Amino acid sequence: MTYILSGKSESSRLDAQAEIPQFSLKRELEGIDLRPGASVLDAGCGSGILCRYLEHNYRDLAIYGCDLSRSSLSHARTLSKRSTFFNHDFIGNPLPGSYDFIFNRLVAHHLTADLLLMGFKNFFNALSSGGELVVIDPDGLLLNLGTLDLQLRDQIAQVSRAFSGDLQVARAIPQLLRQCGFQEVSWRIDMMDFQGEARRLEVAQWKERFENSIDFYVSIFGTELEARRFIRRYLEEASRDDVPLFYNKFIVRGKRP
Ligand SMILES: C[S@@+](CC[C@H](N)C(=O)[O-])C[C@H]1O[C@@H](n2cnc3c(N)ncnc32)[C@H](O)[C@@H]1O
């Protein structure tokens, strides 16, 4: 598997992202009963932000994180107090171990529905009986910008077509979980509406997302100059307070019977 966001600053970007209220881990975990003694895996843990949150806020959990990226894992290991991290591609590879909870946060849109199905089957097989999968993913990332600039809209559509993932796959996750055999599938959709200070922080996130995947944009627009022209225009529009910038965050849960 490949993943387009890379670079040393990617881990610190993910840590900063979790500070934006719209990405609040506290809110995402509301209603999830992580009982003492449970073993929990964060699949696609990135900088380890969720593992550290669990370490600080829950007692007696056995916490694991896995990711494709070795540099993210070493960042995660440095900051974590008691989580165990391992390098693993969960698409096409069975997961080692057995878990009561598996989290998969902000990863799904980087994959297509077909690949996700493979990953979710691996999660299903790695859950204990009665164990629960929680998939958290924003629907409409990059796409949901209320711009009137027709050229920019075309370019956004061009980026979306070239992207190896699916920026609106979150809405299909409940069906995918059912197809893998999960039961009691349920979801909550939280509106991520960026205004005021939250918008300033999310635009800063976009700057870093673009920078950490600049080669991808150059491959679409032909030259670095053209790629940076698109990025500048996107950031200008995203910074306007009369242009809505919003995603729908899906928090989808399913149980292994
Ligand atoms: C946007 S980051 C999110 C990281 C973290 N879950 C968070 O909430 O900040 C997506 C992460 O998924 C990882 N990833 C993508 N595909 C993966 C796969 N097939 N197996 C394991 N990790 C994967 C990437 O390496 C990256 O660290």
Instruction: Please write the tens of the pLDDT for every residue from 102-147.
Output: 999 999 999 999 999 999 999 999 999 999 999 999 999 999 999 9
Residue type present at position 57: N
The tally of CA atoms less than 13 A away on the side-chain side of residue 75 is 19
Contacts of 202 (CB under 8 A, 6+ apart): 20, 22, 194, 238, 245
Per-residue pLDDT for 6 more than 90?
A: no
Pocket test for ligand 1, best of 1, 2, 3, 85 (most atoms within 8 A of CB): 3
Looking up residue 122, the CATH number of its domain turns out to be 3.40.50.150
Let me know if residue 105 belongs to a domain.
Answer: yes
Which residues are 40's β-sheet partners? 63, 101
Q: How many domains does the chain have?
A: 1
Domain extent, residue 124, equals 10-140+165-197+246-255
Ligand 1 center–CA 151 separation, angstroms: 31
Residue 45 placed within a domain: yes
The CA distance from 199 to 24, in Å, is 15
Whether the pLDDT of residue 7 is over 80: the answer is: no
Is 4 a member of any domain? no
118 close to ligand 1 (CB < 6 Angstrom): no
How much distance in Å is there from the Cα of 135 to the middle of ligand 1? 12
Q: Tell me: pLDDT of 251 over 80.
A: yes
* Cα 104 to middle of ligand 1, angstroms: 8
Q: Does a structural domain hold residue 136?
A: yes
